[in-house]
Amino acid sequence: MTRQDTRTAMTASFWNAEGGEVWVRSQDLLDRLNAPIGEAVVARADPGPGKRVLDVGCGAGATTLDMARRLGPAGSCVGVDVSGPLLNLARQRAEAQDLPQAQFIEADAQDHAFEAGAFDAILSRFGVMFFPDPDAAFANLRRALKPGGALVFACWRGPAENPLSQIPLQVAAPLLSEPPPPPGDGPGRFAFADPDRVRGVLDRSGWRDIAITPLDAPMPLSFDELMVLSLELGSLGPILRREDEATRARVTDAVAERLRDEVRDGVVPMTGACWLVTAVG
């Protein structure tokens, strides 16, 4: 197995075990925080009623369901994700909302054999930063798109513009048995923080008319919600779950003490700093 194959397997393993289950438990919080970003992506990608759309890294299906409502019963939105637990929740939500035109595939979009030219548009809300080989992934997605179809996705800008994401790691680092890896250009939340890298990936994989613009969204939350985000859902979560109980307690206390400084009138006024990326296949 190559290093790339190993990283892909580790990602799928994580999202089908503890990673997926943690996100399922916190999906209401995640959907609320990410709603402004998802709405911007879906509105830009919407090809009109009766069309067919692919949602990459759909998770529990919030953007898939939103697009499916727009497309109507004659259209369809297909969500693809590697996480069985999140897709199970997505299917339950689609059934509860009577949206049979929302469909879901458990697969890796990097190499899944999509039907060529099957989709009128492709969208993603924070689902494209985890490909081990982004050039191959976006070439595969372009083949799945009809000629002239739109690609629209949101990805995070850098840690400096999303400072609350780094505070828990910075506080925890001296207390952990091994230091957390620094953010880089490998698969992960900030993999597409550099717009030049994003443009290069899309250009090499055959996309044209590439546009990358800032997208900022208010994401206010409570202190307790920030603690969940910091200790369970962020990049510190998997690291912390490997530590012993005493270490987890020390890290929790230290992170809580630091994050209380971010509360203003009972609310943490967080802003999500992202890129909105569009291209044509």
* Confidence grade of residue 182 (pLDDT, cut at 50, 70, 90): low
Could you give the C-alpha distances from 98 to 2, 94, 106, in angstroms and in order? 43, 6, 21
| 154 or 177, higher pLDDT | 154
pLDDT higher than threshold 70 for residue 6: no
Calpha distance 44→67 (Å, rounded): 11
pLDDT of residue 18: 78
If residue 256 lies in a helix (H) or strand (E), which one and from where to where? helix 245-259
pLDDT band at 183 (very low <50, low <70, confident <90, very high): low
- What is the structure's pLDDT at 184? 59
Task: Answer yes or no: is pLDDT of 27 > 60.
Answer: yes
Task: Tell me what the pLDDT averaged over the chain comes to.
Answer: 92
Query: Is 9's pLDDT higher than 80?
Result: no
**The pLDDT value given to residue 4:** 40
| 274 CB-side CA count, 13 A | 26
Strand boundaries in 126-167, DSSP class E: 145-156
**DSSP code of 234?**
S
**DSSP-assigned letter for residue 108:** -
As a whole number of angstroms, the distance between CA 256 and CA 229 comes to: 12
**Structure-block tokens of residue 114:** 């999509």
Question: Residue 277's pLDDT band (boundaries 50, 70, 90)?
Answer: very high
Q: What is the dihedral of CA 169, 8, 60, 120, to 10 degrees?
A: 120
Give the pLDDT confidence score for residue 179 in this predicted structure: 75
CATH class assigned to 3-160+190-220+272-280? alpha beta
Span 201-225, average pLDDT: 97
- Judged against a pLDDT cut of 60, whether residue 1 lies above it is answered with no
Look at residue 8 in the predicted model and tell me its pLDDT.
41
Longest dimension (CA), the chain: 56
Domain ranges across the chain = 3-160+190-220+272-280
Q: Work out the average pLDDT over 28-38.
A: 95
Q: Contact, 20 vs 149, CB < 8 A?
A: no
For residues 35-44, give the mean pLDDT: 98
Asked if 266 and 144 touch (Cβ cutoff 8 Å), the reply is no
Reported confidence tier of residue 180, pLDDT bands at 50, 70, 90: confident
